[in-house]
Structure 1
């Protein structure tokens, strides 16, 4: 006989979805106060709900210390992971019951690597969004490692990333591929060359996009030619790379191509293909291998696979 306080498949557990939601919010925020702000309740109500949940399940789920935030116990880590799945299922049930048509309704969280955002997000938010006006689309831009973590937790439904160092726990489909290119200030001595060689730039300062997987991909690219870049500045923002290069502080390397190669603030850039050619990097849409994709996620995956992505034309190579 089961030792759980309920045994029938139709019996209700002693805790509520609201208590589970408060626990997940507290885990994500790291503090009771921060979690209370997220769900618009008082900190005391949040704390009382979690305390009651712990009493009901007979386990301490978190340790709360003033000025040090909240830390999950081992039981709490498991409880949060399972609670996310239950809450996800509850949201799907609500969305299914809330509409009597085939229209897609409900939340859709899309993750995107920042340099892909100018290419990926406009079609998603305009074309896909217009086709499904009852969706509540949320976009989260983050580095690739964080996006995979968000997929694992169920916080996002799909993500658009580069196909570099992806873990086996995600499913994927490739959308398009682009080779890395070099950015130079418009007054650079090699700005008029049809292509550039990395070894001709290696003694100059390099502005590095320091966000995984771009960091690893760039260093691997240089290492494959027996080179080590002289890194002057690191930034996680591709627009900062473009700005610093435009101001003559060094050269850069990016994958995503802008259709406009000049800076509107008066610091123009040029984009150059590399010789010998660098293998292209694929862009994928990925989703969790462990969580069943929702109909909304399936729809955005299908859209991504069928989309004619508006990619800038590559620089001519002579």
Structure 2
């Protein structure tokens, strides 16, 4: 293999620049990397000299900010460093054994269903793979896949940020959650038209809130929202207390709230479109073998719907 020219800068210099930019100050980078501030500052200065461009602006009161050239260098440098780390891991693994970290993004209401399977089953099969969890709403996940902060994510199919690669795991229609003594609890199904004059407990976390309100708006209805919460379990707890009804997608085998009050689930009539749950991963770079193995494992799981 022919190499045109060996570069005059090192991966260490690039890592110093990336870390200082991420943390915002040279002193914070020095603390994280356990080196002196002068070592990082001198390294960045030398890197700028070799690149022939100013990569950052350093202000004592305002920290460190990348220039346009610095952002370009940092983005490509991250890929180089990741590739170097993968090379090292590949050389250290035995007989094709998978090793290294995977950062998994997961929508909070999916976490109780998705993560235990992955942590238990995949973790047992590949003990040298470290699974790190980031629970976040889908709107906050935008850009994290492309930047490499998250390797793979489990989300609802609606409002998936960017243009990632994707595979569907399963699909559930939304349902109505009621207190066990609710007047509608004896019905087989519930119409949205019958709910609009009653208090709703809204799961106010994108994309759940948009999906729920969209179902009503498609039928020309405006629900009466009494309380908003970003917590799936708070919705169930308030509903069980008789403070309103809820509309949720995720299904649990537990038919009681945290406080032990019983809940009932009713299907919506006419039936609403199921919402798919997907695994997504970046389209701007190839997935490393351990991430591919995790995706294949997730797709192969029998995600049984339990009502």
TM-score, structure 2 normalization: 0.89
13 and 265 in structure 1: CA distance in 2 versus 1, 3 angstrom threshold:
same
Partner of 2:196: 202
Contact 1:154 1:291 in 2 (8 A): no
TM-superposed deviation, 1:281: 0.6
Partner of 2:139, secondary structure, is helix
Alignment of 1:214-225 (within 5 A): 214-225=208-219
Distance 1:58 1:31 in 2: 22
Partner of 2:85: 91
TM-superposed deviation, 1:145: 3.0
TM-superposed deviation, 1:293: 0.6
Gaps of 5+ in 2: none
93 and 208 in structure 1: CA distance in 2 versus 1, 3 angstrom threshold:
same
CA RMSD of aligned residues (A): 2.4
Partner of 2:109, secondary structure, is helix
Distance 1:37 1:239 in 2: 39
1:238 aligns with 2:232: yes
TM-score, structure 1 normalization: 0.86
Distance 2:59 2:226 in 1: 41
Partner of 2:101, secondary structure, is strand
TM-superposed deviation, 1:303: 0.6
Contact 1:174 1:285 in 2 (8 A): yes
1:179 aligns with 2:173: yes
Alignment of 1:61-140 (within 5 A): 61-65=55-59, 68-140=62-134
Q: Which moved more, 1:78-87 or 1:19-28?
A: 19-28
208 and 73 in structure 1: CA distance in 2 versus 1, 3 angstrom threshold:
farther
User: Which digits, 9 at most, give the CA deviation of each residue in 1:139-180, with x for residues without a partner?
Assistant: 111111333421101122211111112356211111110011
Gaps of 5+ in 1: 1-7, 314-318
TM-superposed deviation, 1:95: 1.1
TM-superposed deviation, 1:91: 1.5
40 and 202 in structure 1: CA distance in 2 versus 1, 3 angstrom threshold:
farther
Alignment of 1:42-61 (within 5 A): 45-61=39-55
187 and 133 in structure 1: CA distance in 2 versus 1, 3 angstrom threshold:
same
- The number of residues matched between the two structures is 306
1:22 aligns with 2:16: yes
Partner of 1:161: 155
Contact 2:233 2:257 in 1 (8 A): no
Partner of 2:259, secondary structure, is coil
Partner of 2:257: 263
